[in-house]
Structure 1
Amino acid sequence: MEKLPPLNSLRAFEAAARHLSVTAAAEELFVTPGAVSRKVRQLEEFLGTPLFLRGHQQIALTRHGSEYFKSISRALNDMREATSRLGRRVQKQELRIRAYTTFAMRWLIPRLSDFHARHPEIEVSLTTSLEDVDFDREDIDGAIRLGDGLWRGANSYWLVPNVLCPVMSPHLPSPDAPLSVPDDLSRYTLLHSLARPDDWADWLASVGAAGVDPRAGTMFQSSAMAYAAAIQRQGIAMAQLFLVEQDLRSGELVKAFDFLLDRASFTYYLLTPSGRPERPQMTAFRQWILERSVGPGGPPAR
């Protein structure tokens, strides 16, 4: 690598060039004008060319000095901004959380303002993914995952009931006749989520609807997309009730049947790494989300 010029000389030159005044540069840097002049001459000797035209009590940039000032001022400004950003992040106590897209959009994000109000010093970095979590390899503090509560290398905390029910737009056209029994679903388009590919099969089996193909229909990457398609009258989605409460209250969606399937312990959990101490900001988030999610009866027995 080429040898870099002395940083203090660069700072003195940049300040003097910006002010076109050695005195003003000295005041900014809290040194004497003589010290600024010495640092600038040191830089000129390093570069092998004059940077200033010096007159009586005034200075002007040479052509080389003007070109050099434009380049190094950008670099120093980038350094200042990078330092400021890092300082803000250190002061903010970053918290890294991963969740599923639908859970984040429909449950977590609408409630995050309450967490920010209680803990303004914590900066939440929220990402979404369907991938399994590996706390040994990934730099995250916690994750929200769907499962049975048993994860290797993780503490798990039960969050919400996982109750399944088919939902649809109240204006969904009927192919032949209105729905009366679950087997009538064979005449409708079923809307699926890649994140939960077995929900239709589990619910249909629980109600004994043997005449319906649980794999038929349209597949979407996330449940949020399936719910949106249901609202747009494209079919019937298998919903987790806690994620469509607002849609049911507003009337955009209605239950296709009142048959509910409670998956009990197979539901959403907050995971934290068991192999390392819990950071204070993660403790605050864990306490907050459990307060906002777990009902008065608490999680079901396992």
Structure 2
Amino acid sequence: MPLRLPPLSSLRFFEAAGRHCSFKLAAAELSVTPSAVSHGIVGLEQALGVELFVREPGRLALTPAGADYLVYVSEAFSLIAIGTQRLPDKRARRPIAVSCAPTLASRWLLPRLAGFRECWPAIDVTVDTSRRQVGFPVDGFDFAIRLSRAPVAGEGWARLFGERHVPVCSAAYRERLLDEQGRPDLRRATLIHVDTASEDWQAWLDATGIAGVPTTGGLRFDTIQLAFEAAAAGLGVVLGRRPLVDREIESGALVEAGAPSIDSHGAYWLVSSEGVDQRPDLASFRNWLLEEAEQPAREHAGS
């Protein structure tokens, strides 16, 4: 007797909503309306005879039964995706799909892609800079570049490089910070914050032991790019993240504010989907990216 399965479309809605704990984010990922996701999950709950989510104003959470079911559904979709990837593909090879934060994509990955294309002109690459969480292999990505303190168990993680945090500002603004002895004083500065950064001014102050610099107020932005541009415009001091801020420092648009630099607790990691070694184009891209990440370390060691 064939197995009786719930509607696969409803299961897809459930997997995305359970992963995000949000109907809205699941709908955006699947290119449908939140209402469609909600109705699909209600139908699934009715078919199964069990509640999968706790719905409260402003809050969506999995029930214990829903959390248990999500493990099986996610694994099932992963197995289907892996099996599909292993099929011999007689069509033109699909592009390599990479998920990457927008600032890292524009400042580190994009300038290097020309070199990759010179070596492998027949391999196309798609870069996605949306902020959504990526699920391997269900979402169809081959790689993701993520900032994290440590690798996550069960996935293929390889360290690319770390960040070094250094306060930077425009040269003219730095002159405004000088005290009577001609030394920059951050207590006079307007601090520029990045709300989405995992480590910002408070982490820097804690690491350096510098006191008396207020972290409340100042200017706040949701992207590192805007924060760098605000500092270059003379609006304050931003916590520069090297190597992302190297371009501005080398051009003189930003200068070090005369304060200590520290190593970030996190690092950028290349996360690979399962089966990368079975596709020569994916293996070539991964090896190339790891070699590119080693170049600054080699150059620094040789200087």
Q: TM-score, normalised by structure 2?
A: 0.62
Aligned to 1:287: 287
2-side partners of 1:217 and 1:192: how far apart? 7
Contact 2:191 2:219 in 1 (8 A): yes
Deviation at 1:133? Answer: 2.5
2: distance between equivalents of 1:289 and 1:165? 25
1:245 is matched with 246
Percent pairwise identity: 31
Unaligned regions of 5+ residues in structure 1, if any? 1-88
* Structure 1 segment 179-198 matched on structure 2, within 5 A: 180=183, 184-198=185-199
1:217/1:278 Cα in 2 relative to 1: closer, same or farther (>3 Å)? Answer: farther
Are residue 142 (structure 1) and residue 143 (structure 2) matched? Answer: yes
User: Is the alpha carbon distance of 1:114 and 1:276 closer, same or farther for their aligned partners in structure 2, counting shifts above 3 Å?
Assistant: closer
In structure 2, relative to structure 1, the CA distance for the partners of 1:249 and 1:276 (3 Å cut) is closer
What is the aligned partner in structure 2 of residue 201 from structure 1?
Answer: 202
Q: Which residue does the alignment assign to 1:255?
A: 256
2:231 alignment partner AA: A
CA-to-partner distance for each residue in 1:234-266, whole Å, 9 max, x for gaps? 1111111211212111111100125111125x2
Question: Does the aligned pair in 2 maintain the 1:158–1:294 contact within 8 Å?
Answer: no
Aligned pair in 2 of structure 1 residues 120, 139: CA closer, same or farther (>3 Å)? same
Figure out how many residues of one structure are paired with residues of the other and give that number: 207
1:118 CA drift (Å): 0.9
The answer to whether residue 237 in structure 2 is matched with residue 236 in structure 1 is yes
Tell me, in whole angstroms, the C-alpha distance in 2 between the residues paired with 1:190 and 1:90.
53
Deviates more, 1:273-282 or 1:213-222: 273-282
The residue type equivalent to 1:129 in the other structure is: S
C-alpha distance 288-204 of structure 1, shift in aligned 2 (>3 A): same
TM-fit CA distance, 1:93: 3.4
* Alignment deviations for residues 6-32 of structure 1 (CA, whole Å, 9 cap, x no partner): xxxxxxxxxxxxxxxxxxxxxxxxxxx
* Residue ranges of structure 2 left out of the alignment (5+ in a row): 1-89
Partner of 1:107: 108
* 2:126 counterpart residue number: 125
Q: Say if 1:169 and 1:232, in contact at 8 Å, map to a contact too.
A: yes
CA change 1:202–1:267 in 2 (3 A) is same
CA distance in 2, matches of 1:175, 1:251: 17
Q: Helix, strand or coil: the match of 1:192? A: strand
The one-letter amino acid of 1:141's match is: D
- SS for the counterpart of 2:243 is helix
> Is the Cα–Cα contact under 8 Å of residues 193 and 221 in structure 1 kept in the other structure?
yes
Cα separation, partners in 2 of 1:190 and 1:120, compared to 1, 3 Å? same
Contact 1:190 1:235 in 2 (8 A): yes
Q: Does structure 2 retain, via aligned residues, the 8 Å contact 1:167–1:238?
A: yes
Distance in structure 2 (CA, Å) of the matches to 1:274 and 1:288: 18
Q: Give the alignment's TM-score, normalised by structure 1.
A: 0.62
Deviation at 1:169, TM superposition (A): 0.6
**In 2, Cα distance between equivalents of 1:274 and 1:152:** 13
Determine which structure has more spread, i.e. the larger CA radius of gyration.
Answer: 1
